[in-house]
Amino acid sequence: MEKGGKELKVSAIKNGTVLDHIPASQLFKVISILGLKDCRNQITFGMNLDSKLLGKKAIIKVADRFFEETEINKVALVAPEAKINIIKNFEVVEKKVLRVPDEIVGIVKCANPKCITNHQPVPTKFSTAYENSELKLRCHYCEKNTSSDNLKIITEN
């Protein structure tokens, strides 16, 4: 399929949301953050696509689904550079820039092994802040920081 002289590696959707410029290594984290495993819509994704910006990138296209701002912003935790395009009738009608939410409930595991959330059924809760342009999640419970390099996503069983 050709569009604007560019070949599409992942076929276009008529209506829905496209998440582009995801670092290839983060694809499955994004899938898990958005809970796409349990999503019944048509989903296509591509991984290890060539990208000038990222080297290897990934892309996700979810047909007929438009995410809430608070939901989509969680993607910023693992792919802050991702681009969100809203598609209506094969056209990009809106581009969204991701912004890390001020508070994160669930999703991320606290990196402190002695934190109560790693031992008892307590949902995690963090406030976010940037320290020397690096994202830090401060645990509401143990008050320790989890930095973006040791950020682990809680995956449901």
Partner 1 sequence: MPKSLISIHDFTKEEMLHVLDVAQEFEKNKVQTLLHDKVIATLFFEPSTRTRLSFETASNRLGARVIGFSDAGNTSVSKGETLKDTIKMVSNYVDLIVMRHPLEGAARYASEVASVPVINAGDGANQHPSQTMLDLYTIRQTQGRLTDIKINMVGDLKYGRTVHSLLQAMSHFNPYFTFTAPDELKMPQEYKDFLNSKGIPYTETRELEGNLNECDILYMTRVQQERFTDPMEYEKVKNTYNLTASMLQGAKENMKILHPLPRITEIAQDVDDTPHAYYFKQAENGVYVRMAIIAYLLGYK
Taking CB under 8 A as the rule, which mask of x and - marks residues 80-119 in contact with partner 1? --------------------------------x-xxxx-x
Options 121, 133, 149, 150; binder of partner 1; rule CB under 8 A: 121
| Least distance CB 157 / partner 1 (angstroms) | 19
First to last CA, the chain: 38
CA–CA separation, 112 and 134 (whole Å): 18
Options 92, 97, 105, 122; binder of partner 1; rule CB under 8 A: 122
Give the count of residues interacting with partner 1 (CB under 8 A).
17
Does 144 participate in binding partner 1 (rule CB under 8 A)? yes
| Least distance CB 142 / partner 1 (angstroms) | 4
Taking Cα atoms as reference points, which of 110, 60, 51 lies closest to residue 85?
Answer: 60
Site for partner 1 in 15-74 (CB under 8 A): none
Options 28, 140, 151, 154; binder of partner 1; rule CB under 8 A: 140
Tracing tokens 């019944």 back to the chain, one arrives at: 40
Options 2, 143, 149, 156; binder of partner 1; rule CB under 8 A: 143
Q: 85-102 b/e with 16+ CB inside 10 Å = b?
A: bbbeeeeeeeebebebbe
Window contacting partner 1 (CB under 8 A); options: 15-23, 48-56, 69-77, 143-151: 143-151
Is residue 50 exposed (0-12), middle (13-18) or buried (19+ Cβ within 10 Å)?
exposed
Total Cβ atoms within 10 A of residue 5? 5
Element (H, E) at 71: helix 69-72
Instruction: Provide the binding-site residues for partner 1, judged by CB under 8 A.
Output: 112, 114-117, 119-122, 131, 139-145
